Amino acid sequence: MNYIARIFTLSILSLTLCRTGSFAEETSRHSIALFDATAGFSILRDLREEGFFNTLFAELRYLSSHQEISLASGSMMLTSALSGSGETERANFALLGIDGAHHPFRITWQLKRNSGISEDALLRMLTLAINAGNSSLSGAVFEETVTQNGLLGFTPVFGEREEDSLTGYTATIEIGPSSRHYFWRTTTEMVVLNSFGLINYFVNKDANMVDWEYQPNWEGLKRKITDGWCLDTNNFRTNSLYHIYAGIIYYQTARSNNYGPLASFIWCFAGSTFWEYIGEYREQISTNDQIFTPMGGVIFGEGLRQLGLYAERNMRPGIIRGMVCFILDPMRIINRQLDRWIGDEFTFNVNFINPAHTIINEAVMERTR
């Protein structure tokens, strides 16, 4: 009892200290100054009023033309400006800041004025700058580009002379659809895959009729749910090979829609359940199938996916590599192509600024006059 009392007392004390902030983790709140340099083009102000920047947990200031700002570690300035006209009109963005190692930097990118990825690009670059403020710009750039999906190109930039050090990076990022899009696409693809299975099911109707126990009506569905699961006696090819392959396709469908292994396993189980209840609506639910389909999907599906990625990295580009990758992971190839059709990309430039110079201050002063 004394032991339990001590644990209880320590728990209450810990909660009290956390409540008062004694154990609270200190989080640096970043400061972002916003400035639209072109009259009539107030994209940053509009996004601020819409609450777009709220997810960054940063202090925001919108600057008028006569204000000045001095940058320090943890602060940054984001500016927008228009260039060109008509079809060539572009929105230019510049992000100035100082990283966690106290090195000034500038990030610039350009988009079509009404580009559908403007907000995505803004969020990616602001996140990059915030991460740089917590550590270093080099580490943040590496994390954002090299270790993330969607990197189309990455080039280090050096000074004019051969012995000059690294002065920055140029990277091209592919921005795909939203997470909501991936959810509905996964759902649609699961239904389509089960529809193909249903067509095949009725093509082989005579062989499948032996398992029919329920009428296709409400009473039959209630009986099916009430009877629950059972071990069926179908042949090995149907119970194992077919259902494992179905699980592989379910799993790879979810993985190709940006879901992780665990979430893809859940999608795989959901696809199997949908088939058992809706596809084979006249049969009792098979325990065998509900085990083989998701388990086979996650084990073999992930293995084949990794083999496909390995082949893509190590084989010479061409028809043979394309065929190998498609056979190993067809849904990844299909969905990647769909993403390219509906997605977009942008290129950004990162420049390291010599702290001994006053380029940031001069640029900011010029923008805010």
> Model confidence over 47-60: pLDDT tens digits?
999 888 887 777 88
Angle at 237 between CA 293 and CA 205, to 5 degrees: 90
* Main-chain dihedrals φ then ψ at residue 268, nearest 5 degrees: -60, -45
For residues 336 and 182, what is the distance between their CA atoms, to the nearest angstrom?
Answer: 12
Task: Show the CA angle centred on residue 290, arms to residues 246 and 284, nearest 5°.
Answer: 105
304-327 burial: b if 16+ Cβ within 10 Å, else e: bbeebeebbeeeeeeeeeeeebee
What pLDDT does 26 receive? 38
pLDDT in tens, 253-274: 999 998 999 999 999 999 988 8
Nearest to 242 by CA among 278, 289, 196: 289
Q: In what order do the strands lie in the sheet with 59-62?
A: 59-62, 31-36, 75-83, 90-98, 104-112, 344-352, 166-175, 151-158
Residues of the chain scoring pLDDT < 70: 1-29, 65-74, 144-150, 160-164, 208-211, 233-239, 354-369
**Residue 21: what pLDDT?**
40
Please report the pLDDT score of residue 233 as a whole number: 65
Per-residue model confidence (pLDDT) at position 287? 80
Whose tokens are 């006059």? That residue is 369
Sort strands 166-175 and 344-352 into parallel, antiparallel or unpaired. antiparallel
pLDDT at res. 161:
61
pTM over 0.85: no
Residue type, 144: E
Whole-Å CA distances, 230 to 197, 276, 283: 21, 12, 10
How many Å is the maximal CA-CA distance in the chain? 83
Q: Are strands 344-352 and 104-112 parallel, antiparallel or unpaired?
A: antiparallel
Q: For the chain, what are the domain ranges?
A: 29-176+344-368, 179-342
